[in-house]
Each structure stands twice: as structure tokens, then as C-alpha cells.
């Protein structure tokens, strides 16, 4: 698309009118203003698409086989290790990385920080897709999608954490869809729909704050169901919910930094000047918020160890592993953020964001899989489970790219009053 955007003055599409004054049709917008032959040409020219084809060629049959032959055909799941990569990475990992939606929505809509407006929609989209695909990972693990509403409507358990998580994720996903709809309405030209959503944006933002805060903590509270199984350093019954909530703050902000960096470097043709010119300033602002959350998270982790009297565990091999996680996943990116903010080294901040996002995934896998039943044998994920996880995440990547290519997420729609 970068080559076509240089050769064709009417590409990329940023409004409803072509260069000759006629309107783009929805079909033409979907094809990015290209003919079928031109679209195929740019599709097969991209090496990333060939990688996606190779991943799906193996992954799709494996997903079909999972539903035909059962979960045991693709995983080593057992009563000893019930949560594998589908939940350890797909649910517990993707949900904190998707916390950017409620934070940037709060920053712009509630606190009036319009200087972050250029990245607000990207943060909302990141949150929406992250939650949606977390549900897909959950459904691949459960295997019965038709029973998705069961814990919310049929077998009610108001005192259960799973009941809380199910309702909050479902309602918050609906809120995020509503928050992203204005971009879609601009794209199709239905301004009335956009105005209707904008009337309720403050209420949607407040709902997002409440729902996201509760279910981020509730995901951590799930592990209190198995207090004797998770290693004591990764489980503090009194602090587990705030560990998960606080870590989701810098995880979501780091993910926005990563997404914006990748989009600027690999989809620069789709970004407008407002996005590109303000991105360094916004990145530094996001890093400030992430660093505050990191120091808070680190202090709470230390307080939890002291409260539960677990100092002796730090002298064991598991304790060294725990200190390694905190050092690499929290302390290192925190100092990278601090140095980058002080000296305005945006590249260092972006590198620190990649490490922080990796650290969150690492922490969730430690809690749900590696340090689960730590006194027993160590579970190694089945290669099929690994490949299916990569396949679903590849679908997440393609969906993300499909939307950013078309909807006004990182550019402003022109020609609207």
C-alpha cells in the first residue's frame, strides 16, 4: 500500500469523495480504493501475509480437530494443570494488555486531556480486540461456545468470582464496541449514529472505569480458589486482586506504545500528521503513567511478601526465579521509562514498553501454569496448543490491521461538519 499511496493521489482514502468529486462506495472502501488485481498484487507482495498463510494452513485444521477430538487432542490439560496457554496467555495475558481502552478514554473524555486525543481511538480499538480475542481463547479452551451465556443467565452464582468475570467482560465488551462505533459511523457516513454515541460517551467512559477495574481484579481473585497450588510468592490472597489490577495499568499503556510504534513504522501511509507529529509527546506521557503504576505495583508486591511472611522463599530457587521476574519485567522497564522521560529518549521508552508487555505475559504464565502445582512435575505445553495459540493471535493481528487500514483510527476523517 505504501507504493500505491505514492502513485495514486486519491489513496489512502480519508473522506467520502474521490479526486474527481464522485463518492467512494463501501465496496471500494473495503478494497482500499484499489482494483481486485491491484489488491491481490499488494497482498502477495507482503511477506507477512505469506507467514500468516503458513500459520493458518496448520493452525486451522488443529482448531477443527480440537472441536472434533476434544481438548486432550491438542493439550496436556489435566486435573493437575487445568489452565494452559489458552487461558494463561489468551485470557490472563491479553486482558491486562487490553486495559488501554478505559485508561485513555478516562484521560481524554473524563479528565479533558485533549492532547492525547490522537491516540484515544487506537487505545479503544486495542482494548476492544484484546477482550474479544480473550473470549475466543476462552471458547477454544471450553469447547462449547453455545454455553457462553450459561454462567450469566442459567446457572447463576452471584457469590462466585467467575460470575463476576463473565458479566463484567460481557458488559465491558459491549461498552467498548459502542466507544469504537463513531469511527465506523464516520467511515460509512452515518453522522447521526456518531452523534447518538457521542451523547453517551461520558456514561460509557464511567461504565468502562467501573467494569474494567472490577474484572481486572477479579481475574486475580480467581487464583484464590486454589491457594494451596499456586506458589506463595505468586499468590497473596489479600493482595492478589490489586496485583492484577495495578499491573494491568502499565500493561495497557505499554501495549499502546507498542501498537503506535509498529503502526508508525509499518503503516505510516495510513497515519495523518496529527498522529505522527504528536506521537513522541504522547509516548512520553504514557510512559509517565506506566512508571507510576510500576512503582506502585513493585511496592505492593514487597508489602505482600512481608504481610504473608514469605521472606524465606526468596532464598530458594523459586525465590531467585521470582526476583528475576521482578527485575526483568518491572524494575528494568521502570528505569528505562524514567531515564527515557527525563532525557526525552523516546526510543528507550518504546524498547522498555516491549519488555514490560513481555513481563506481563511472563507473570501471567508463571501464575497460571509454570508456578501452578510447583511441588509437582512441570507442565510443558503441547506443540499443538502452542500452534493454535499462535494461530488465534495471528487472527488478532490480521483483524487489527484490517481495521486500522480502513477506519479513522490513526487519522482524522475529512470533509465532515
pLDDT, tens digit, 9 for 90 and up, residues 71-106: 989 998 888 888 889 999 998 999 999 988 888 888
CA distances from 96 to 131, 231, 364 (A): 9, 21, 10
On the question of pLDDT at 348 being above 80, the answer is yes
Three cell numbers written together for 266: 509499518
On the question of pLDDT at 417 being above 60, the answer is no
Three cell numbers written together for 336: 528505562
Q: How far is 2 from 14, CA to CA, in rounded Å?
A: 15
% of the chain residues with pLDDT over 90: 56
Overall residue count recorded for the chain in this entry: 417
Sign of CA dihedral 404, 409, 415, 416: positive
> What φ, ψ does residue 17 adopt, rounded to 5°?
-110, 140
Mean pLDDT of 338-347: 96
Number of other CB atoms surrounding residue 192 within 10 Å: 7
pLDDT, tens digit, 9 for 90 and up, residues 294-311: 999 999 999 999 999 999
> When comparing pLDDT for 149 and 241, which is higher?
241
Mean pLDDT of 385-396: 96
pLDDT tier, 171 (very low <50, low <70, confident <90, very high otherwise): confident
- The domain segmentation of the chain, as residue ranges, is 46-406
CA distances from 107 to 205, 282, 290, 362, 390 (A): 10, 12, 13, 28, 33
pLDDT, tens digit, 9 for 90 and up, residues 182-210: 999 999 988 888 889 888 888 888 888 88
Cβ atoms 363, 246 nearer than 8 A: no
**Topology (CATH) of 46-406:** Formate dehydrogenase/DMSO reductase fold (1.20.1630)
% of the chain residues with pLDDT over 70: 99
Mean pLDDT of 56-64: 96
CA distances from 256 to 61, 273, 350 (A): 32, 18, 10
> Would you list the DSSP string of 378-403?
PP---HHHHHHHHHHHHHHHHHHHHH
pTM of the model: 0.93
Helices 117-142 and 161-188 cross at an angle (nearest 10°) of 130
Q: How far is 411 from 406, CA to CA, in rounded Å?
A: 10
* Averaged pLDDT of the chain: 90
- CA geometry: angle at 192 spanning 189 and 197, to 5°? 105
pLDDT tier, 416 (very low <50, low <70, confident <90, very high otherwise): low
Within 8 A by CB and 6+ apart from 385, the residues are 74, 75, 76, 84, 85, 86
The pLDDT value given to residue 65: 95
**Beta bridge partners of residue 230, listed in sequence order:** 372
Cβ atoms 236, 243 nearer than 8 A: yes
Three cell numbers written together for 137: 481463547
The pLDDT value given to residue 204: 84
Q: Where are the beta strands (DSSP E) in 271-411?
A: none
Q: Dihedral angle at the C-alpha atoms of 268, 257, 171, 95, nearest 10 degrees?
A: 120
Amino acid at each position: 500500500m505504501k507504493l500505491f499511496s505514492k502513485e495514486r493521489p486519491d489513496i489512502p482514502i480519508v473522506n467520502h469523495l474521490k479526486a474527481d468529486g464522485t463518492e467512494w462506495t463501501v465496496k471500494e472502501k473495503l478494497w482500499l480504493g484499489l482494483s481486485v488485481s491491484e489488491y491481490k498484487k499488494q497482498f502477495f507482495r507482503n511477506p507477512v501475509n505469506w507467514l500468516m498463510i503458513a500459520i493458518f494452513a496448520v493452525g486451522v485444521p488443529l482448531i477443527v480437530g480440537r472441536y472434533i477430538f476434544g481438548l486432550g487432542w491438542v493439550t496436556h490439560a489435566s486435573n493437575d494443570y487445568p489452565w494452559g496457554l489458552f487461558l494463561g496467555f489468551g485470557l490472563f495475558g491479553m486482558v491486562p494488555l487490553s486495559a488501554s481502552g478505559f485508561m485513555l478514554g478516562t484521560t481524554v473524555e473524563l479528565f479533558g486531556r485533549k492532547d492525547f486525543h490522537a491516540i484515544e481511538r487506537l487505545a479503544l480499538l486495542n482494548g476492544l480486540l484484546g477482550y474479544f480475542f480473550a473470549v475466543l481463547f476462552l471458547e477454544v479452551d471450553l469447547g462449547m461456545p453455545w454455553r457462553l451465556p450459561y454462567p450469566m443467565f442459567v446457572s447463576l452464582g452471584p457469590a462466585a468470582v467467575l460470575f463476576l468475570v463473565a458479566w463484567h467482560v460481557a458488559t465491558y465488551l459491549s461498552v467498548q464496541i459502542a466507544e469504537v462505533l463513531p469511527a465506523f459511523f464516520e467511515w460509512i457516513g452515518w453522522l447521526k449514529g456518531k452523534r447518538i454515541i457521542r451523547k453517551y460517551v461520558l456514561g460509557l467512559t464511567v461504565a468502562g472505569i467501573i467494569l474494567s477495574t472490577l474484572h481486572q481484579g477479579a481475574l486475580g481473585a480467581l487464583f484464590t480458589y486454589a491457594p494451596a497450588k499456586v506458589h506463595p510468592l505468586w499468590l497473596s490472597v489479600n493482595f492478589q486482586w490489586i496485583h492484577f489490577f495495578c499491573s494491568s495499568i502499565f500493561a495497557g499503556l505499554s501495549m499502546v506504545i507498542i501498537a503506535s510504534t509498529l503502526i508508525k513504522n509499518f503503516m505510516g501511509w495510513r497515519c495523518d500528521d496529527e498522529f505522527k507529529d504528536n506521537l513522541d509527546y504522547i509516548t512520553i506521557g504514557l510512559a509517565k503513567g506506566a512508571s507510576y503504576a510500576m512503582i506502585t505495583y513493585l511496592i505492593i508486591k514487597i508489602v505482600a511478601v512481608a504481610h504473608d511472611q514469605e521472606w524465606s522463599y526468596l532464598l530458594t530457587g523459586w525465590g531467585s526465579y521470582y526476583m528475576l521476574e521482578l527485575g526483568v519485567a518491572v524494575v528494568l522497564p521502570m528505569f528505562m521509562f524514567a531515564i527515557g522521560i527525563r532525557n526525552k529518549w523516546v526510543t528507550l521508552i518504546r524498547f522498555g514498553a516491549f519488555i514490560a508487555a513481555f513481563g506481563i505475559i511472563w507473570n501471567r504464565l508463571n501464575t497460571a501454569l509454570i508456578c501452578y502445582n510447583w511441588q509437582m512435575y512441570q507442565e510443558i505445553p503441547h506443540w499443538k496448543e502452542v500452534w493454535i495459540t499462535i494461530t488465534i493471535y495471528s487472527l488478532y493481528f490480521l483483524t487489527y490491521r484490517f481495521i486500522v487500514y480502513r477506519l479513522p483510527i490513526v487519522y482524522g476523517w475529512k470533509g465532515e461538519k
